[in-house]
Each structure stands twice: as structure tokens, then as C-alpha cells.
Structure 1
Amino acid sequence: MWGKVLGALFGLALLKLPGLILGILLGHWFDRTFRAQFERNGGFNGLFSDQQDEQALFRYTTFATMGHIAKATGTVTTAHINRASEYMTQLGLTAAQQKEAQAAFRDGKVVSFPLQQQLSSFYQAYRRRKDVLHLFLEIQINIASTQDTMSAEQYSLLQQVAAQLNFSSGQLDALIQVHNAHRRFSGRKASANGKNNLADAYNVLELNATTSDALLKKTYRKLMAKHHPDKLMAQGVPAEMLDMAKRRTQDIQAAYELIKQHRSRAKL
């Protein structure tokens, strides 16, 4: 729509009636070709927003929400603190960024922390970038799953986070299942020929053994594009926050290769 509107206005201003017609045609082409990508990048808000402010919002909301989820049971366990510290180390944060992350984590641990208000601001900034929201929720699932099984309180809080970001309970449960599959698959890479690892490889790709080769390849490419660090960084994710996306793409590629090898041997 916006392509046709702006095309018409510019065309009319430059060439009057012929320009109006030409502008509408060019705008229609733009809408059809670039509309989805334009909206994923934030639309016109994305053009005029300060990317540094957005990235600071992503960092703060990520670690503050992590702190709130870690505190959901009433006490932040040593395991949660270690997981958060490990995550900060994996991200390669500078000393200043680590202090900011630790301060945000402490803010989130406070019972009165305004989580819904913070998530509302975050959602308004990234609402047209679904892949970024997916990544954010995956990070929170990771901290909630520190001890392999999350508490009922943490799951309830994750449901609130998901709802605030416009994810249904079913979508949250699906993400948790995929997260668990990634965790098991990463832990079993050393035994790449194991039957259990093959099952987890299919779960990583959100498929099953009856999937056709064509759909397998199509899904693999779709997931690689969805989690590609360069794409997420272009959508406003700070470069240092892309560790999970990088590990996801590594797992997806390894899972795809394992399934292909298994299918090739089965055809011999």
C-alpha cells in the first residue's frame, strides 16, 4: 500500500498525470516485491529509529527478563547465576557491557520490576520483526531450562512473556520442545550415528522421518534463513547477542547433514 501511495505522490509532483500512473505502477511493484522484508525491518519506524537505542533496549530487556525468570521461584539459584554468567561470557561482552548486563539482571530480580511495561516497549520496537521476537523468547527459555526442567512458576512467567510478545501458549510449547531437542542433539553430537540422535535431528528441524527429501531441504533452508546471524543483526539485534542464533544454525546444519547421511545409507 505505502509503495503505491508514495509512488503516486512523487510521480504526480514530478510528471503530473503520467507520473501519477507510473508512480502507482512502480509502487505496486515495490509492495509486491519488498513489502514483507520492509515490514520485518520495522517499516517506516525502522527507517527513522535509532538503531543504537533499539540495541540497548534489546540488551536491557533480555537480561532484565532473564533476572525476573530466574527469580520466579522466589530464590535465584547458583545454577541460574552461573548460566547467566556463562551466557554473558559466551557473548564476548566488553567489561562495560557486562556491567550493564549484570545491572539489568539485578533490576529484573526485584519483585516490583515492571516486566509487562518493559516487554510492551520491547514489543513496540520489534513487533514487525518476528524472527527477533523468536530469538528473544528462545533466550528466555534457555535461562528457564537451566536445570533441565523448569519450575511451574517459571513456565507461568514464560507464558506471560510469550503473550506479551503475541505468541500463543501452543507456540511457546513448540519452542520449548525445539529448545529441548537442540539441547539433546548438541549433547549427542559425538555419537552422530546413534538412533536417539537421529530422532533429535528431526526434532531440531521440526520434522519427522516420513518427511520427503524435498520438504526436508525446503525446511532446512527456511530455518537457516530464520536464524541467520547477519539477517538478525540487520533487524536490530546487537552483534554480541547473536550467540544463540549462531549455535542454532550450527545445530540445524549438523542435523540436516546427519539426516542426509542416514537417508543416503538407507538407499544403498
Structure 2
Amino acid sequence: MSLFQRLFDAIGETASTAFSGVVEAVLTVFAGDPETRRKVAFSVAVIALSAKMAKADGIVAPEEVRAFQEIFAVPQSEAKNVARLYNLAKQDVAGYQAYAARVASMCGSGETNCAMLEDVLDGLFHIAKADGLIHEKELEFIADVADIFHIDEPHFDRIMARHVHPNGIDPYAVLGLPDTASFAEVKKRYRALAAESHPDRLRGRGVPEEFLGIANDRMAALNDAFAIIEKARAAA
């Protein structure tokens, strides 16, 4: 039996009226298996935030649904269950803040700039920009979630720089460095961020396999930023 089917079987009819019941049930259904519980809780919470965020601008665009499917590449056998969870979250009247707080709690009380929560924010940005434009309401949504996640402003700015660049990518912002940084500093920061974004690191912090596409997007942004700086420094 699949993980999500076990969840639905345990919850029964309550899942048809409140997505919050699903979130609550994760802790008890998988109580004897902490690693699985962490992965399922992460998945369920991200489904909820994705559904809520897709409605932030008042429209759930087909491109946003496809973007969600890109980062949540679940097996075909789980597709109906994931769609069911997504639709429940989209219809639930409960606020997204409650779901964001549940995700944040998996990193410990008050921890700042948790790497796993950065993975979640990358996923939300990926969905928000799928229709070609990150709307103001969507950006406000993600910024509010980041605040609930205890992501400080400089760290959030670096995350945002990977996704929002209407005037062209700012490679230094992506790496979180001033443009006066030496090339040695640039290389050191690039290597550290690349190591942190490796799929094995994501697995180690409980990110399910279906979310590892996030790492590919992040690495592409880091690689582009480093290549731009390297080329500019070589030409100087």
C-alpha cells in the first residue's frame, strides 16, 4: 500500500472536508517510522503550500499546475492521491500560515535559514514564475512564508535572486556576495553553495526523491552566476 493511501485510509471521511486533518494525521500514522514520517510530512506540507500559493494571484494557471508536477514527479501510482491532496488544500479555508508553521517545525524551534526550508521556497518560486511572471501577491506570499520559516532577509534575497531578475541575472546577488569580492571569495562561495545543493545533501535532510529537481534548478542558477563572473573577471 502506498504512503498516501495509508494516510487516506487512516483519516477516512475527514480528509474530504479539511486538509488540516491530513496534516495532523501524519504524526500518528507514521509514528513508528520517524524517517518516513518526516518525508511524508514534508511532502504533504509542500503540497498544501503549493496549492495555496498558486491561488495567491487569484488564478491557478495551467502552467502553475504543470510546474508543480515538474518538481513533484510522483510515480503514476500516486498521481491520483497527490491530486486529491492538492485539490483538498486548494479548497480548504484554513490559512497557509498554519501549514508553513508545520513545515518550519521540522527544522527545530526557531532555527534560522534551515536548508530544508530553502528547498521549499525554491519550489514555490518555481511554481510562481511558471506563467512567465511572479505576481506581487505571489511574492508577498513567498516572503511571508519565508518569514514564518525564519529565513533572514539577506538569505531570502539570495534565494529570490535565483528566480526574480527582470533586468537580467545579478550573479553576485545569486551568490550572496558584493561585487567587490575577490575571485577567490567568489570561487569559495560557489563551491560551498554547490555542495549544499547536491542531491545527496537534500536526501540527507529529508527531502523526498520527487523534489530533487529543485536541486537541478538551483545548480543551474549557481553555475550561470559563476560563469558570468568568471568570464567578466577574465576579460578585465
Q: Shared fold by TM > 0.5?
A: yes
Deviation at 1:114, TM superposition (A): 4.6
Q: Which amino acid aligns with 1:222?
A: A
Does residue 1:154 correspond to 2:138, yes or no?
yes
Q: Residues of 1 paired with 2:106 and 2:61: CA distance? A: 32
Deviation at 1:60, TM superposition (A): 1.3
When normalised by structure 1's length, the TM-score is 0.64
Q: Residues of 2 paired with 1:255 and 1:119: CA distance? A: 30
Q: Which amino acid aligns with 1:227?
A: S
1:69, 1:144 within 8 Å by CA — same for their partners in 2? yes
Q: Which residue of 2 aligns with 1:145?
A: 129
Q: Deviations over 1:127-167 (max 9, x none)?
A: 35811111111111221222333333323322331222112
Pairing 1:1-268 to 2, within 5 Å after superposition: 50-88=34-72, 91=73, 93-127=74-108, 130-168=114-152, 171-181=155-165, 200-207=170-177, 209-266=179-236
- Deviating beyond 6 angstroms after TM superposition, the runs of 4 or more aligned structure 1 residues are none
2:162, 2:218 within 8 Å by CA — same for their partners in 1? no
Closer, same or farther in 2 for the Cα pair 1:163/1:262, shift >3 Å?
Answer: closer
Q: Which runs of 5+ in 2 are unaligned?
A: 1-31
When normalised by structure 2's length, the TM-score is 0.72
SS in 1 for 2:64: helix
Closer, same or farther in 2 for the Cα pair 1:79/1:239, shift >3 Å?
Answer: closer
Deviation at 1:168, TM superposition (A): 4.4
2:35, 2:206 within 8 Å by CA — same for their partners in 1? yes
Which of the two has higher C-alpha Rg? Answer: 1
> For the aligned residues, what is the CA RMSD?
2.8
Give the fraction of aligned pairs with identical amino acids, expressed as a percent. Answer: 24
1:138, 1:175 within 8 Å by CA — same for their partners in 2? yes
1:116, 1:164 within 8 Å by CA — same for their partners in 2? yes
Q: Residues of 2 paired with 1:165 and 1:66: CA distance? A: 15
Closer, same or farther in 2 for the Cα pair 1:133/1:49, shift >3 Å?
Answer: farther
Q: Which has the higher helix share?
A: 1
Question: Higher relative contact order by CA 8 Å / sep ≥ 6: 1 or 2?
Answer: 2
